A and B are shown apart, each in its own frame.
Chain A
Amino acid sequence: MQPTSLAFQSKAAAALADPNLQTALGGIKTGWQRGRILAAERLPEFEQLRDQARDIKNHALANLDFYLEAFEARVLDAGGQVHWARDAAEARRIVQEICESADAKTVTKSKSMIAEEIGLNDHLEAAGITPVETDLGEYIIQLRKEPPSHLVGPAVHLTKDQVADLFEQTHGLPRTDDPTELVGQARTVLRQKYLQADVGITGANFLIAETGSAITVTNEGNAELTQGLPKVHVVIASLEKVIPSMEDAFTLLRVLARSATGQEFSAYTTVMTGPKRPGDLDGPEQFHVVLLDNGRTGMIGSKFQDMLRCIRCGACMNNCPVYLAAGGHAYGWVYVGPMGSVLTPQFVGIESAHTLPNASTFCGRCEEVCPVRIPLPNLMRHWREEQFKRQLMPSTVRQGLGAWGYLARRPALYRLATRLAMGVLGRLGKKRGRFARLPLAEGWTVSRDLPAPEGRTFMQQWRQRQRSRP
């Protein structure tokens, strides 16, 4: 996917003016954001588990070579195969070859961010193989030819009516906007696809060195049908998914669903180890694991290593004021929200994404909620330093001022942006009186301090001034 992250400002402005999107995003606060708080309250050990989750990932990241070797040995013992891919192109080719050796016409897929990262669907289509997304959200965005707008809910940007319109066009059935019927339609259509598919492709939330297992977590049960019905199962996963043992997986699983959706546990957590065994009545005949590097070995030992702890729960975006206003598509690539602001420059280059580490109010909510305690604001700051070092700064100063001017000309967006910033600014201002830094006016405040707002936004003051004018 070609990144369009440089257009963040204009896309965010358009997003704010899109009532459908704003309705859809509004549900996140009452749903997942609140759900996470309640789930954490119900489990007294939650904070301790987060510490342990962080430590498990840190330990694995400090010994990835050994854990990957152990994992590979166990997969081979269980009768599976392991394929190593240094970059996206190698991973695509490997998956294509596995599909071709199975004479695959149709492959079913359950949600995999790695598949999005490497642009697998387009590649398979070009090779004459039809990929079918089975996660309902992924199915919807595949039909709409859109990238996901959220890690957990890829179609969270759409309202029920938009899905109703899409299904009417696609399924050729009378229009319904009843969610139960819409889900039923997708279920019926996809059931046939599962049965036709020659290969099933899934991601993995965790890879277990102890057993050579891949673990998927879903609510729909689509991963189980994707890997259980076709004769070939391919797992695509990035290197940092490997952890030592099932015990470690359980600790991470305890914080994953709670952080993501506020569920105690997702409906389906499946531990898959190798192909079908003698006598088994179902299961794939072949079990392949594709291990993808794609720049991750370069992150180990770098300032960005902490990012590799990410378990893709989505909490950082659910709690990000910028994401909740702008939506996922404004970020312009596969990974969105705060974690996307750190990861996207890594994958597409800071030149093509320097808007993202700047699209932050630095309110710190993302770090507060991250189950593996990734210091996301700090990592965004690192990118800004990097950007400075690479002498993108002059253009950024222009960009920053450009954004300021752009916002000033768009009252709704400006109001929102300043309100978002207010809380932080008020706090900072109390401490220092003046700001060294103001989000969205970064380039400008580098050399000039702004007066601290006194509890009212610029727009409030401006309106008042207008009223008091003769």
Chain B
Amino acid sequence: MSDNERRRAAILGRLRDVYRRSPEDEAAAIATVEQRVFHPAPNLIPARGQLDLEGRIELFTTMARNVQAEVERLPRLADVPAATSAFLRRHNLPQKLVVAPDPVLQGAGFASQPLLRLRFGDADQHDGAGLTLAFAGIAETGTLMLCSAAERPTLLAFLPENSLIVLPSARVFGAYEQAWQELRREQGRPPRSVNFITGPSRTGDIAQRLELGAHGPRRLAILLVDDLQAG
């Protein structure tokens, strides 16, 4: 037995001493635990987000704006490059961008914006703006759900001061549970990192005054795209 195994046995043993389950109780407990781990069911889901798609998109937009995100709705993926360029201009930022090497974003037609200098890859500390693709949106709190993958590195949404995120309109769910169920259906186990993002980075640690851009992005722009089906 390794040290770790010994410590583990001691802790679990202590717990079992406290529980002192009869064989019947133990069987029942194991059945419940298995049910809850292997077939989890949602608890109460607030009514707030349970709307039709247009209602969800509207609620998502309101909630995200309430937490200082910029939200823009675009009919086509092909509108993303121009919207990105306009965002950078609006905030007096250089026309420079690092983009997730995702086939969807690579197919967005960035050539339409010749002034925009972009690189596909992960962000480093020198990048001022990053663009990536969300897996889903959650209407009840205006929350984005990002899933890490080889073509969607996590740091893209955290290192640059300006974060732009493409969200397919059709992927705006009412509640977190519904988005997570979709992830389970598509991928089984979760990817390494799932990031729920609700507005830009913030802190209240100096005299409880809200300041944006504590460590993560100072600005968050959400581009809702209508002609994209999957995330």
By a beta-carbon cutoff of 8 Å, the part of chain A in contact with chain B is 24, 27-28, 31-32, 43-45, 48-49, 52, 56, 59, 62-70, 72, 77-78, 83-86, 90, 134-137, 140, 153-156, 158-160, 163, 179-180, 182-184, 186-187, 190-191, 195, 209-211, 213, 219-222, 224-225, 228-229, 239, 244-248, 250-251, 253-254, 261, 263-283, 291, 293, 297-298, 300-301
Contact = CB atoms under 8 A, between A and B. Distances in A.
B92 interface: no
Across the A-B interface, give the 7 residue pairs with the lowest CB-CB distance, nearest first.
A221-B216, A279-B150, A245-B40, A220-B214, A137-B205, A244-B36, A136-B205
A69 to B, nearest CB: 7
Given A159-B207, A277-B191, A282-B154, 5 more contacts: A70-B33, A78-B189, A183-B206, A251-B44, A300-B18
Interface string B1-17: 00010011011101110
Task: With a 10 A CB-CB cut-off, give which of B4, B42, B43 has the most chain A CB atoms.
Answer: B43
Contacts of A48: 44
A292 to B, nearest CB: 9
B33 A67 contact: yes
A201 B217 CA distance: 21
A27 to B, nearest CB: 4
B37 interface: yes
Interface of B: 4, 7-8, 10-12, 14-16, 18-19, 29-30, 32-33, 36-38, 40-44, 46-48, 63, 66-67, 121-122, 125, 140-143, 148-150, 153-155, 158-159, 175-177, 180, 189-209, 211, 213-217
A158 B206 CA distance: 8
A269 B203 CA distance: 15
Contacts of A137: 203, 205
A220 B215 contact: yes
A221 B44 contact: no
Contact of B44 (A45, A220, A244): A45
A68 B7 CA distance: 13
Contacts of B66: 264
Contacts of B180: 246-247, 250
A183 B215 CA distance: 9
A68 B12 contact: yes
A264 to B, nearest CB: 4
